[in-house]
Amino acid sequence: MKRVNEFEIRPRTPEQREALLELLDASAALWNELTYNRRQAFFDDNSVWNATNPSDRYKNVLGSATAQQIPRKNSEAWRSFFSLNEKYYSGKRDEKPSPPGYWGNEEDGRELRTYIRNDQYTLQWGDRSRLEIPVGKALKDEYAITGRLRLEACGDPKWDGEQGRLELVYDKTCDTFRALQPVTVPDSRRDSRKIEDFPEVENAQRFRNSPLASHEAALDVGANNLVACTTTTGQQYLYEGRELFAHFRDTTEEIAHYQSMLDNQRRTSKRIDSLYRQRTERRNHAQDALVRDLIERLHDEGVCRVYVGDLEDVLETHWKCVVNEKTHNFWAFSQFIDRLKCVCEEYGIEVVEKSEALTTQECPECGEREETHRNGDVFRCGACGFEGHADLKASRVFLDREAGGEVGPMARPVRLEWDNHEWRPATTAPPLRRANPKEDRTDRSTCREVGKVASVGSS
């Protein structure tokens, strides 16, 4: 399976910094020039593959290998565009794709990046970690570089395997250089469980990815409560998100404040860019930590399959400003699902996307759907009198439906809270929060309808 190591690169001298910036700038210029030629050919109904390739003029700065990698990456972008374009015209895609674009311009600032072929760079980790990359003769002469450019590498790479094409990026906001190194690692490397640990498994061959696991889990994904999980072992987990969303809204309001102070000629500032980055990194950190914490717990319980709601077309069905901010900007559900699949692949757990329509309305005890009511986190059934936490209940109903009624007796739920570093179990059971008027309006705008996909605002 494919994974990516990300780490920081630090030039050791001002000369190395200038050489690296010039290398990245030349790569961006090559990309832009080639993209322009191919876009002109495309809009003139000519073959983009016959457009002029200017890479020879950049070899003196980039080196021959790197000067070939930029056009190769550009070709990959065009092939992806043509594939999406074909799906659009065949009716398999709703949104028409756009041709590959530019990496900015000199006036507004280019996106400075480059790509180094997998056999052209050397990465060594230890007391003096370093990265060595090739450069062209012009840079060697100008900055007195002997051999290859040697840069300091800072980080702790998680993955060890066959290295792929290295991407180097300059982050102007933070004034840092970052490296992204794809690696190929063995499948399910975390699955070290022994068959004797799971005597209940009768046919181990059924579980190809995780042959020693037999249990299943279902997730109710939301924004107030980020994830509610129920397993066939009877265990339940609840990851709360209200405080995270409050911090997200505070940063959003701060961004809006500084945007209102800009003159008409400016669209952003260093402070605004920094706040955007801070907001995104805080969310991504919490999201990544949640997925890792949850999957490790499920792995330890012997879970081999996770059911998650198919959230397609949710916003088209139930749209509201607050709901849109929670689902797309704050929690980024598509990103969450991608991350979930990635970590589950690492642990040998299968992810199955299923419609979770009506799981909010349905009572887990009697199956009633009409005489039920939700108020915030509180779910009540008027038919049998059941009362419980709405999202945990929904994940239980979801699991009952997909696992065929094989869910065991429910244990006391584990409620987890984010402390800005990790998810920690709370000391009390999940509180049954009643919705205040503002939350109530949000909940009503996103309640599930018959035949519709699960609501993201219901959590």
* Domain ranges (residues) in the chain: 2-184, 215-445
pTM: 0.67
Q: State both tokens at 79.
A: 């092939």
CA–CA dist 45, 39 (Å, integer): 10
pLDDT value for 316: 43
CA nearest neighbour of 159 among 190, 129, 131, 134: 190
CA nearest neighbour of 24 among 120, 122, 104: 104
CA–CA dist 229, 235 (Å, integer): 8
pLDDT value for 235: 92
- What angle in degrees, to the nearest 10, is found between the helix axes of 270-301 and 333-347? 40
CA nearest neighbour of 34 among 44, 49, 21, 22: 49
Could you give the count of Cα atoms lying within 13 Å of 437 in the half-sphere of its Cβ? 0
pLDDT value for 429: 63
Element (H, E) at 284: helix 270-301
pLDDT value for 121: 96
pLDDT value for 419: 87
CA–CA dist 168, 149 (Å, integer): 13
pLDDT value for 122: 95
pLDDT value for 409: 75
pLDDT value for 356: 81
Instruction: Match 């709370």 to its residue by tokens.
Output: 426
pLDDT in 10s for each residue of the chain, 459 residues: 788 899 999 999 999 999 999 999 999 999 999 999 999 999 999 999 999 999 999 999 999 999 999 999 999 999 999 999 999 899 888 888 999 999 987 666 678 999 999 999 999 998 889 999 999 999 999 999 999 999 999 988 888 889 999 999 998 878 899 999 999 887 654 444 444 444 444 433 333 344 456 899 999 988 788 999 999 988 999 999 888 888 888 998 999 999 988 887 777 888 888 898 888 888 888 999 999 999 999 998 899 999 998 765 444 444 455 555 565 567 778 888 888 998 888 888 999 988 888 888 888 888 888 888 888 888 999 889 888 898 999 999 999 888 876 676 778 889 999 988 889 998 766 666 665 554 443 333 333 333 333 333 333
CA nearest neighbour of 352 among 341, 360, 343: 341
Could you give the count of Cα atoms lying within 13 Å of 182 in the half-sphere of its Cβ? 12
Q: How distant is the alpha carbon of residue 89 from its chain centre?
A: 28
Task: State the amino acid at position 193 in one-letter form.
Answer: R
pLDDT value for 158: 82
CA–CA dist 336, 333 (Å, integer): 5
pLDDT value for 325: 57
